[in-house]
Chain A
Amino acid sequence: MNERFVAAARLLPDYLGQHVLLSAAALTLGFLISLPLVVAASRNARIRWPVLGFASVVQTVPSLALLALFYPLLLAISAGWQELFGHGFSALGFLPSLLALTLYSMLPILRNGVTGLTNVDPAVIEAARGVGMTNRQRLLRIELPLAAPVLMAGVRTAAVWVIGGATLSTPVGQTSLGNYIFSGLQVEDWVSVLFGCVAAVALALTADQLLGLIELGVATRRPRIAWLGLAVLFAGVGAAGVGSWAASGHPAYVVGAKNFAEQYILADIMTDRIRKAGSAATARVDLGSVIAYRALASNGIDAYIDYSGTVWTTIMHRRDSVPRQQMLQQMTAELRKDHGVVLLGALGFENAYALAMRRDRAEELGIHSIADLAQHAPQLRIGGDFEFFARGEWQGLRDRYGLRFREQRQFQPTFLYKAVSSREVDVISAASSDGRIRAYDLVVLEDPLQVIPPYDAIVLLSPARATDPVLRRALGPMVGAIPIDVMRQANYMVDRDTDRISPGQAARWLENEIHLK
């Protein structure tokens, strides 16, 4: 407990710093965009409705979805940019998070601003015109000062929303306090989850209080109080910037990872090896499966580990299954040709999608293979992770074996294994290298029709790093070096219920175990 708390606290300058910078940038941008819209909308009823309507619609989109939507959008824009100007920009991380949160911050600012401006006493407006103010003078000297308290209340609301929403930017590759929550959830480190929640709440409350101070100063026309609040706010953002800059620096290499223990461990090994090769490196974890590949193809990250079957089905859109060596050969050629991505090699173990059941339940029903399962399926419930039912493998299994289940449910991976263990569901989608298969005494069902393609763990390099000597020197020795039992054991040490260790510790153990130098 204490140890994990210390580990979490050590990450705080980086996570909190980036969270503050992102939130402050989104709020500032949102404010700067909203202000002219507020003025225009309060003067012209015809644009008021569309502006407020649009902001309301944005607000009803779940913030996670909004963040997710900006990623492909930016990716497309980045590709177009590259065509036109010869260099693209990273569609991962800061930019999509900034844009989504900026949009998210606008509704309360717009709504309060328009309310504030349209509620200024008409007699005061008439007097402002009567004494000879221009439209601009009326706005700056009369309307904005009078609307300021209401506007500031909107900014406070927006700040709390943005700080809360920023925790969801982790899956699109932006480091934030959400990293505590997402990673903690994956490896069941509740100390980390709690740490992230408390930090986010504390940050939101602090920002709210400081903005409240500014609001008070503005409302009671005591500029000193407003300036004090503003100064502390700026100092905080500045400190956050320095903190996160000092914590992360500017890494030469960025290693991506998806959102489960094995990926955390492997990303840790990769960054460790790049550092040992003499270059700064950092990991961006909790990326969505396809997001990781797109980020790599657009040079948003430099390297990550994927699985051949995943790339085969989700990137290459293949439905057929071919022998392992042939698949790797075709994949190497095609990824190179289509995206410039380099397949450096396979690590030596497989992490396949598989269907797993409790051993006692499988024996009770006499199920050994997916073909056996098909006969019992109409009485059984199946659970899958968020991706599984949308993936080609499931569609292949379902169609080839004629699987029809009584019920189909989705779980976060951590809860998936618990669900089958506690008999909430009978069958789950499992990863064959997952340590929890052994931990929960599950059996993996055979696939006699070989519908599921091979899932060799493979090292992928971005187009920009195709011939990078540091990466090749650091990651080359990992190819063919990691056997399945060692990987499964390392995963198990991170995922088990007791005596759990961190992904970093498991990475050191694994490196040591296979004598990786």
Chain B
Amino acid sequence: MISFQGVSKSFDEGRDFAVRDVSFSVASRAFVALVGDSGSGKTTLLKMINRLIEPDQGTVSVAGESVSAMAGYILRRRIGYVFQGIGLFPHMSVAENIGITPLLLGWPPEQIDARTAELIDLVELPRSYLTRMPSELSGGQRQRVGVARALAARPSIMLMDEPFGALDPVTRDTLGTEYRRLHDAMGLTTVMVTHDVMEAVLLGDRIIVVRQGEVVADGAPQELFNSHPDAGVRALMDMPRRQAERVRKLMQERAARE
């Protein structure tokens, strides 16, 4: 569905590479988590898929076609994009925000109305919220609208850049789980950038670890848990397991005491 072939990108004319000679592909309906520290190049990789960033070398293709073959804005109307900043349009109502991509695509108004109503149900907000302005919503509600906006034009690909990173942990977990359900129900292909390995493990079918612009590990979570040759990947993947074990141990101790 999505493929990278020998892709490189430098923001300072070749002194440092944000992405260096990266190749991988993502199957249809996959849920891929791109994991790495800040500055590792994971966001750059993501934004090259919908051409918010252009590669210096190599080819990024979507559905077998190079993304550089079509205008960026046409490509982006076909791909959902959700990011940490959310970026709801403050001068538009929730309904107008959700319906923007269909509007740009020239859908008839009644079809847009039907679609926004459908989506507000899907992200589990009351329909009365459609007439509200973004400033009247909480952070979690805003990102629900953000997800609905990204899904509006029925994209088959969703790109998510730390989508729930700014939310409180409970909301974050709830939204993550709900999104995963949507992904499965709608048969989406999702690429999600996160620096939180736990989130990657819980949501993703496949984890790609990026460090200094290069892919250092790529596999299903359970594969990466088992003694990966790279020490950094081992340390990274150990953390959720250790945390899970500690939690389990604590729970057992408490249960024994009672």
Determine whether the beta carbon of B91 is less than 8 Å from that of A123.
no
Residue in A123, A131, A146 whose CB lies within 8 Å of B86: A123
1/0 contact string of B149-179 vs chain A (CB within 8 Å): 1100000000000000000000000000000
Please give, as numbers and ranges, the residues of chain B lying within 8 Å of A128 by CB-CB distance: 87, 89
Residues of B77-127 whose CB lies within 8 A of A: 77-78, 81, 83, 85-91, 100-101, 104-105
Please give, as numbers and ranges, the residues of chain A lying within 8 Å of B189 by CB-CB distance: none
Determine whether the beta carbon of B85 is less than 8 Å from that of A127.
yes
Query: Does residue A129 face the partner (Cβ distance < 8 Å to B)?
Result: yes
Which of A132-140, A193-201, A253-261 lies at the binding interface? A132-140
Determine whether the beta carbon of A127 is less than 8 Å from that of B73.
no
Q: How far is the CA of A141 from the CA of B78 in the complex (A)?
A: 20
Determine whether the beta carbon of A130 is less than 8 Å from that of B73.
no
**Contact residue range for chain A?**
20 to 34
Contact status of A145 and B91, CB under 8 A, knowing A126-B85, A132-B104? yes
Q: How far is the CA of A137 from the CA of B77 in the complex (A)?
A: 13
Determine whether the beta carbon of B85 is less than 8 Å from that of A123.
yes
Residue total for B at the interface (Cβ-Cβ under 8 A): 25
Please give, as numbers and ranges, the residues of chain B lying within 8 Å of A364 by CB-CB distance: none
Residue in B72, B90, B101 whose CB lies within 8 Å of A131: B101
Contact status of A146 and B81, CB under 8 A, knowing A132-B76, A133-B73, A133-B104? no
Q: How far is the CA of A132 from the CA of B76 in the complex (A)?
A: 5
Please give, as numbers and ranges, the residues of chain B lying within 8 Å of A221 by CB-CB distance: 91
Q: What is the number of contacts between chain A and chain B, taking CB atoms within 8 Å?
A: 67
Q: How far is the CA of A122 from the CA of B86 in the complex (A)?
A: 11
Determine whether the beta carbon of B89 is less than 8 Å from that of A127.
yes
Determine whether the beta carbon of B77 is less than 8 Å from that of A124.
no
Residues of A108-129 whose CB lies within 8 A of B: 121-129
Q: How far is the CA of A142 from the CA of B74 in the complex (A)?
A: 18
Query: Does residue B137 face the partner (Cβ distance < 8 Å to A)?
Result: no
Determine whether the beta carbon of A134 is less than 8 Å from that of B73.
yes
Determine whether the beta carbon of B52 is less than 8 Å from that of A131.
no
Query: Does residue B3 face the partner (Cβ distance < 8 Å to A)?
Result: no
Q: How far is the CA of A145 from the CA of B90 in the complex (A)?
A: 10
Please give, as numbers and ranges, the residues of chain A lying within 8 Å of B100 by CB-CB distance: 131
Residue in A127, A134, A141, A145 whose CB lies within 8 Å of B87: A127
Determine whether the beta carbon of A124 is less than 8 Å from that of B87.
yes
Please give, as numbers and ranges, the residues of chain B lying within 8 Å of A137 by CB-CB distance: 73, 104
Closest chain-B Cβ to A502's Cβ sits at a distance in Å of 56
What are 30 contact pairs spanning A and B, CB under 8 A? A121-B85, A123-B83, A123-B85, A124-B90, A126-B83, A126-B85, A126-B87, A127-B86, A127-B146, A127-B149, A128-B89, A129-B73, A130-B50, A130-B76, A130-B81, A130-B83, A131-B100, A131-B149, A131-B150, A132-B73, A132-B75, A132-B77, A132-B78, A133-B104, A134-B73, A137-B104, A141-B89, A145-B91, A146-B90, A146-B91
Report A's interface with B, CB cutoff 8 A: 121-134, 137, 141-142, 145-146, 221
